[in-house]
Structure 1
Amino acid sequence: MPHAAFAPSSRLRIVQAVTALLVALTVGIAHADDYSDVNTLLRQGKADQALAKADAYIAGKPRDPQMRFLRGVILTEQGKQADAVVVFTALTQDFPELPEPYNNLAALYAAQSQFDKARAALEMAIKLNPDYATAHENLGDVYARLAAQSYGRALKLEPGNTTAPPKLALVRQMFGAPAPDTLPPATPAVRKPVRN
């Protein structure tokens, strides 16, 4: 599955591209045209039209995982995180063998500073596909955020602590956040979807 490369930041990578497994679950060239049309509209910045086309398609084929996945990506791009969480959660329930919805759920959870939920979702994605590089990278980012929270908590509990501040500064430097000891860890944002 193609993924765009991103510079280090506080954002987790959200996946838009569809895996071979998702493609294998769908049938027919006409479907591919519909997916392509939705992706094209999204790339052109016409998210509302892409969502309308995805919804129309899903109305006729409500179990189609690929279009439902694209719908979740569109909602994420539109800033409708709660709706996107519903879409990706439903995909994990209906198609528990697919790792990509778990990855995207993790990105949404991390954006809400729900790092334990993000970690659990990424661990499931990796369990399903141990070679899923994006999920491994995102899990590393989540662990770094959890570490920053722990270092920050240690400093609050023991203000004279001399070992936590350099560690906290290092984690914050990774994410481009200021390093003062007194600031809470920065909240990550959902990365814009990868576009083909």
Structure 2
Amino acid sequence: MKALTEHLGLTAGAVLLGCIVAIPLGIYLTKTKVQWIRSLSFTITNIFQTIPSLALLAILIPLIGIGTLPAIIALFLYSLMPILRNTYSGFKSIDPGIMEAAKGMGYSPRQRLIKIELPLAIPFIMSGIRLTTVYIISWATLATLIGAGGLGQLIVGGLAVYDKPLIFASALLAMVLALVMDFLLSLVEKAITKSTLSEA
């Protein structure tokens, strides 16, 4: 139970930080006309995605040490790209005619963002969050290698003593956790989409 709680904590912390950074950044990138900022943002987040998990953890150890903090930072860096990309795609997919109509009705930029753009982009954003959550649950199993605990601790412990049932049960629990979170987030996505569209 402790390992599961630790795993959920690592995942929630990383995904929450990813949303706090990537969603506003994605919205900003759809508004800015400065091309190099957009290119640089996607390039940097792409680089984080391509760094192997163990390599990134190894880089963070001498900088931050071991434990939960470096693990969350590493997972946070991995969470950025899917959320950023989907937020950007969601806003860019909005029909310009809809925005022109809202502007003609006297909607301010803030009103257009809250009442028009966000409701229409929510399915894309939630898709990115769902994808990121599943990824992070998987990657978080490696966090035990730097002392962050989680389900990976059970897997590594099972490997150390060649305890097949423990290895299988721990790996299966991580898989089930990813599937359950994906299902729950799909329900949240539907509820938020229905609510925001009804208010738009």
Tell me the TM-score normalized by structure 1.
0.31
Q: Going by fraction, where is helix more abundant, 1 or 2?
A: 2
Structure number with larger C-alpha Rg? 2
Tell me the TM-score normalized by structure 2.
0.31
